[in-house]
Structure 1
């Protein structure tokens, strides 16, 4: 299992636009080939910081998504709302206790 974690930091006034857009596209992201899970988190202390966690079968699946026209549309819209550059980590899941 391959996991992509992205930290997104927004201008406070842009948070509603981000959330509205995310709501409208989340199912399409989740249905991308190889995507197994999509989660959105908001920082408890700084409400302008969000994290997405997406689980992928392979790195190639993520790269195919990232190279898609759909991703380019999503990213072009989202990055205009930032107050800081996004940060991303690609990690391998080693253990999960549910």
Structure 2
């Protein structure tokens, strides 16, 4: 399993536009083959900073999504609303 976290800082006047994009696409992303979970988180102290937190069956499943038509629609529309470059991490759970 891969956990993907993407932290995005939006122009303050573009937050509602981003939320609309997320509302319109979240179920499609959740339904994408290999996606187990997607949620949106808001920074506790910076209201224009959001992170997506998603679980993927594998890195291949995540990469298939990133090469998909859906991602090709959602990401460019989201990216144009940024106030800063997004940061992304792909993580694996560790059993200790």
- What TM-score, normalized to structure 2? 0.96
Task: Tell me the equivalent position of 2:77.
Answer: 77
Task: Tell me the equivalent position of 1:29.
Answer: 29
Task: Tell me the equivalent position of 2:20.
Answer: 20
Question: Quick one: distance in 2 between partners of 1:30 and 1:94?
Answer: 24
Question: Quick one: distance in 2 between partners of 1:93 and 1:37?
Answer: 14
- What TM-score, normalized to structure 1? 0.94
Question: Quick one: distance in 2 between partners of 1:23 and 1:68?
Answer: 19
Task: Tell me the equivalent position of 1:66.
Answer: 66
Structure 2 unpaired stretches of 5+: none
Question: Quick one: distance in 2 between partners of 1:27 and 1:45?
Answer: 27
Question: Quick one: distance in 1 between partners of 2:93 and 2:4?
Answer: 10
What does residue range 82-97 of structure 1 map to in structure 2 within 5 Å? Answer: 82-94=82-94
Structure 1 unpaired stretches of 5+: none
